[in-house]
Amino acid sequence: MDQNIDNKQVNCSKESLKQRLEQSGKRLKYEQENLSVEKNEVADERLLLKNRLIDTKKNRVLVIEKINSESEQKDNVNNTINNSHRKKTWLLIILLSIVFFIVAALCAYLIVIINIDKEKQEKGRLFYEENVKINQIGSSEKSFVDLGLPSGTLWATCNVGATKPEEIGNYFAWGEVVPKNYYDPLTYKWWYKNDLTKYYNLFMVSKNTLELSDDVANVNWGGNWRMPTETELRELISYTDEGKFYKNGVSGIELTSVINGNTIFFPGSGYKVEDKIYNSDVVYCWSSSLSENDYHAFCIEFGSYLWTEKKYRAYGLPVRPVKNKYIAE
């Protein structure tokens, strides 16, 4: 009986031990599974960390490359700007050098031209004085007509060298102050060796209006008397009515002011070339204004109608003086 009891106890112990072993096995299996899961999780985390590390390295590389690229671009931009500035600087230096040389050449040219002109004028004056036969200018009546012109211009009643309105007076080449027997370039005061020596339209040294020393009206009549300008010729035409008229048997034109009704007479004169008179029934009078063509000057002309014309400077034309009533003698 005791033996049975012991056997039962042994069996119970075995059974209990078996259960414990099973439980321990299950626990061990469970722990192994948990350990495996944890290992997998650790592996995943390691992989994730590894991937993150790789991404970080890649990002670092990309950032470094981007920084390098931006730095390179900035350097390129700076180089481009510097090159552009250098090019502009050199271009400016070249342009300034060109301008300097042009200005220097122009100044040298003007100095040469001025010196040549002075030499030509002196030689032309000597030639003129030595070779031209001078006629004396007769006394002239110095009365005038006030036509009420807006500019205040007063027109003389007769030409230089005349004593009456119907007299032609003397013929003059433009810019000369004495009459002569022969009118052509070879006897012209401002002509020497096939070239003009004074009064021309030239850049920076233009002289296109007669100086008083070359104004025959001022030289011969004195005071404020002078030759009319082209503008004053046009004013005369604009503020008068013209008509054919005979004064003491002399054919010419009479101009009547549309402002105050006063009249002025111009005799037909023609113009002289060499020693001949052309268009003797046509009215001509010089102005003091050079035309845009250096070889011609403005004048007044009346044949079938009144207008301003241009004549060759060496030709002989009469001169009708003017003065301004607003300028004191």
Which CA distances in Å does 249 have to 60, 138, 167, 243, 285?
117, 22, 11, 15, 20
Q: How far apart are CA 123 and CA 214, in angstroms?
A: 17
Confidence category of residue 180, pLDDT binned at 50, 70, 90? very high
Specify the DSSP element, H or E, that contains 156: strand 153-156
User: How many other C-beta atoms can be found within 10 angstroms of the C-beta atom of residue 240?
Assistant: 22
Task: Give the tens place of pLDDT for each residue, 61-85.
Answer: 777 777 777 777 777 777 777 777 7
Average pLDDT score over residue span 190-218: 83
Q: What is the pLDDT of residue 329?
A: 65
Q: How far apart are CA 240 and CA 253, in angstroms?
A: 11
Provide the residue count of the chain.
329
More confident residue, 190 or 116: 190
Task: Give the tens place of pLDDT for each residue, 89-139.
Answer: 888 899 888 988 888 887 776 676 666 555 655 555 555 555 444 444 544
Per the prediction, the chain carries an average pLDDT of 82
Burial of 145 (0-12, 13-18, 19+ CB in 10 A): middle
Q: What is the pLDDT of residue 156?
A: 97
Q: What is the pLDDT of residue 113?
A: 63
Q: DSSP assignment, residue 39?
A: H
8 A C-beta contact, residue 277 and residue 271:
yes
Q: What is the pLDDT of residue 133?
A: 43
8 A C-beta contact, residue 142 and residue 156:
yes
Quote the pTM value: 0.61
Q: Helix, strand or coil for residue 203?
A: coil
Q: What percent of the chain has pLDDT over 70?
A: 83
Which CA distances in Å does 239 have to 151, 302, 306, 309, 326?
11, 15, 12, 18, 19
Task: Give the tens place of pLDDT for each residue, 227-286.
Answer: 999 999 999 999 999 888 888 889 999 999 999 999 999 999 999 999 999 999 999 999
Confidence category of residue 174, pLDDT binned at 50, 70, 90? very high
